[in-house]
């Protein structure tokens, strides 16, 4: 379980740096998502076969269907979120997108038979409040309706992605991550092809950021993320997922030299505190029950 948490946090760190890396790429949001998907799946497929893995998914067709649905949902999440970044900015987009974990927690008793505990409710409330503080200043600016809609729909896609992947019980680890990203890349390719075709002009200066976003953030990030969440409770995935916007803010301060207001610092503390409280309370409670 500890190893799964470490991989999950690594995946969140990679995903949290997406906005910073993408800021160095002078392409449309759809083109960026297409390139990161293709590069990511090329890397994952290579690692999958080099390490001696073999696909067993066709022996578990129901699970394969759930992972395919999760992959399409992730494609929708990425396309909508990156478009929202371009329309209303990263902060407000992240705030709205991260209502997705709340949807996961709300529906996990129905789809995954997980019980909602008081600790989870408290930690979720702290995380939501923290995300609001971090992005609150952006809400004071003019709101683009299309961008707002994209961000809202991305949160729904996020919830479908997590819940669908959690329903795939037999396909786990590297195989899960590879199939997931393959389905994402396929869905993004079809969307971009129908929308604008595949003529993309990439300048020499864009390539380092494109490769970093595609190979490390997407390929390695998806491996860490999806090979871990199968071993973790959906509500823990949802609560700890709020570390991603925290990573995004911290990296923007360190790399892009953006300033963090005191209210945003409070928000960061609430996100960390909420995630830690939810997990530590659960372990202490379980330990006391055993004794």
Residue-wise pLDDT for 147-181, tens only, equals 888 988 998 999 999 899 888 888 888 888 899 99
Residue 50 within any structural domain of the chain: yes
- 175 contacts 57 by C-beta, under 8 angstroms: yes
Lowest-pLDDT range, 40-49, 135-144, 269-278? 135-144
Residue 263 within any structural domain of the chain: no
pLDDT band (50, 70, 90) for residue 286: very low
Residue 127 within any structural domain of the chain: no
| Cβ-based neighbours of 7, under 8 Å, separated by 6 or more | 224, 225, 227, 228
Residue 175 within any structural domain of the chain: yes
Q: Of all residues in the chain, what percent carry a pLDDT higher than 90?
A: 31
Per the structure, how many domains does the chain have? 1
Residue 255 within any structural domain of the chain: no
pLDDT band (50, 70, 90) for residue 79: very high
Full-model pTM: 0.80
Residue 35 within any structural domain of the chain: yes
Closest CA to 18 of 78, 75, 70: 78
Residue 39 within any structural domain of the chain: yes
Residue 247 within any structural domain of the chain: no
Quote the domain boundaries for residue 220. 2-115+143-233
């Amino acid at each position: 379980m500890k190893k799964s948490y470490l991989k999950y946090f690594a995946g969140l760190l990679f995903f949290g740096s997406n906005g910073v890396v993408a800021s160095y790429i002078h392409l449309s949001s759809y083109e960026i998502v297409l390139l990161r998907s293709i590069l990511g799946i090329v890397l994952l497929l290579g690692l999958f076969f080099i390490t001696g893995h073999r696909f067993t998914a066709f022996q578990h067709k129901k699970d394969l269907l759930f992972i395919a649905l999760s992959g399409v949902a992730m494609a929708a999440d990425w396309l909508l979120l990156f478009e929202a970044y371009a329309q209303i900015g990263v902060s407000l987009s992240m705030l709205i997108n991260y209502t997705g974990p709340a949807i996961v927690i709300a529906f996990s008793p129905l789809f995954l038979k997980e019980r909602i505990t008081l600790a989870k409710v408290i930690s979720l409330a702290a995380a939501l409040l923290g995300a609001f503080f971090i992005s609150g200043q952006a809400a004071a600016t003019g709101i683009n309706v299309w961008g707002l809609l994209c961000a809202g729909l991305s949160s729904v896609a996020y919830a479908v992605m997590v819940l669908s992947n959690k329903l795939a019980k037999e396909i786990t680890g590297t195989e899960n991550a590879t199939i997931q990203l393959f389905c994402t890349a396929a869905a993004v390719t079809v969307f971009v092809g129908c929308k604008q075709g595949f003529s993309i002009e990439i300048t020499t200066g864009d390539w380092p950021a494109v490769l970093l976003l595609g190979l490390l953030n997407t390929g390695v990030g998806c491996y860490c993320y999806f090979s871990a969440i199968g071993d973790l409770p959906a509500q823990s995935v949802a609560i700890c997922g709020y570390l991603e916007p925290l990573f995004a803010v911290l990296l923007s301060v360190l790399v892009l030299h953006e300033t963090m207001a005191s209210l945003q610092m409070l928000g960061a503390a609430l996100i960390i505190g909420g995630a830690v409280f939810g997990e530590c309370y659960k372990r202490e409670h379980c330990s006391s029950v055993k004794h």
